[in-house]
Amino acid sequence: MKDIEKQLPLILIDNVDFTYPSGTKALRNINLKIDNKELIGIMGKNGAGKTTLIRTLNGLIRPKNGTIYLYGENIASKSIATLSKKVGVIFQNPMHQLFSNSVKDEIEFSLKSFEFTKGEIQNKTNEILKEFNLEKYRNRSPLNLSGGEAKKLALASIICRDPDIIVFDEPTLGQDGREIEFLINLIKNERKKGKTIIIVTHNIEFANEYIPRTILMADGLILADGPTEKVLGNQILVEKSSLILPQTHQINLALQKSGIECPNNLFSKGKLINFIKDFIKNKTSEIVEGND
Ligand SMILES: Nc1ncnc2c1ncn2[C@@H]1O[C@H](COP(=O)(O)OP(=O)(O)O)[C@@H](O)[C@H]1O
Ligand SMILES: [Mg+2]
């Protein structure tokens, strides 16, 4: 990255509108800045325009009005192939993304657009299949994988390309606890590598616990954009978006209602548990002292 590029936001979306040929206005007046290395969530009810928005980032959807800049450059004239090397989008339905005859072929195909030698492609494929625990399925057709495994393969086929920006569309949907844990570790690792990560999700607990900045969308508009604890703590906005207030916020409200004074930043599970632990400890010592 050149020095000047480091000062620009990594992604700048300037006044973007998009209407599908059917006449649905999916994006209206979208303005958004995303900096390098951010982890950002996009939330909002079905049909809000979340998927449409992320599809503009790798050129799958070209806005009718407005401009999208990546590293300060207008992406309008850049091909999907070029953009996909920088922006890896993992779709909600893995079957829209997988089309090879075997798991191994899927990864090899994904690596083909780079200037790797055959040997390098083989090594990288083996590495990624190991990392994603997919080695045992290397010769199996993606059609014969479980939903969770197919989602993992779709993810592996993007991560192996080492994109600077990783975009997930509903990654926790239909995933079991272990698969979500795998995803959380993967996100942590990719962040350590300096990646920028955008996650479209309906999973409010996941967003509340792991995502620092949240954008809330409705009817193609951005309703709110800010620190997750503020955005997801706004009961009116959250309900308007067909979401349920995160549990830590609900517990905070219940504690306050019952007259317990608590600081207003207890929005992670860890902080809340520590507060309750200290509260109980103090109460217990009051009782013990009272007995003396
Ligand atoms: N290919 C399409 N053709 C026509 N309308 C579409 C298409 N994809 C999405 N839409 C419409 O655009 C709006 C936004 O959809 P989408 O971006 O998929 O929302 P979200 O991901 O937030 O659920 C919805 O009204 C949806 O019905
Ligand atoms: Mg969607």
Asked whether the beta carbons of 56 and 63 are under 8 A apart, the reply is yes
Output the pLDDT for position 19. Answer: 97
How many angstroms is it from 147 CA to the middle of ligand 1? 23
Ligand 2 center–CA 167 separation, angstroms: 12
Looking at the predicted structure, is the pLDDT value of residue 216 above 90?
yes
Is the pLDDT at 5 greater than 70, yes or no? no
Question: Encoding tokens for residue 209?
Answer: 């616990």
Tokens in use for 156?
Answer: 């592996």
Q: Where are the domains of the chain?
A: 3-104+162-245, 246-292
Can you give the pLDDT at residue 177?
A: 92
CA of 21 to the centre of ligand 2 (A): 18
CA of residue 219 to ligand 1 center, whole Å: 10
**Ligand 1 atom having least distance to the Cα of 200:** 21
Ligand 1, pocket-test mutation among 18, 24, 56, 93, most atoms within 8 A of CB: 24
Q: How confident is the model at residue 6 (pLDDT cuts 50, 70, 90)?
A: low
pLDDT at site 2: 55
Q: What digits encode the pLDDT tens for the residues 131-147?
A: 999 999 999 999 999 99
Write the CB contacts of 205 (distance below 8 Å, at least 6 apart in sequence): 246, 247
Tell whether the model's pLDDT for residue 1 goes beyond 90: no
pLDDT at 290: 66
Q: Helix crossing, 269-291 with 247-257: angle to 10°?
A: 30
Most confident range, picked from 5-9, 56-60, 266-270: 56-60
- Which of 4-8, 87-91, 193-197 is predicted with the least confidence, judged by mean pLDDT? 4-8
Q: Which ligand sits nearest to residue 26's alpha carbon? A: 1
Does position 204 have pLDDT exceeding 80, yes or no?
Answer: yes
Task: Kindly tell me the sign of the dihedral angle through the C-alpha atoms of 165, 167, 172, 174.
Answer: negative
As for ligand 1, residues whose beta carbon falls within 6 Å of it are 20, 22, 24, 26, 44, 46-52
Ligand 1: atom nearest CA of 27 is 14
Which bound ligand lies closest to the C-alpha atom of 52? 1
The CATH class of 3-104+162-245 is alpha beta
Does residue 4 surpass a pLDDT of 80? no
pLDDT at position 110: 95
The minimum-distance atom of ligand 1 relative to the CA of 169 is 21
Tell me the pTM: 0.92
**Which amino acid belongs to residue 254?**
A
% of the chain exceeding 70 in pLDDT? 97
Q: Determine the distance separating the centroid of ligand 2 and the alpha carbon of 61, expressed in angstroms.
A: 14
Ligand 1, atom 1: closest residue by C-alpha: 20
Q: Rounded mean pLDDT of 100-115?
A: 94
pLDDT for 21: 95
Indicate whether 121 pLDDT > 80.
Answer: yes
pLDDT of 292 higher than 60? no
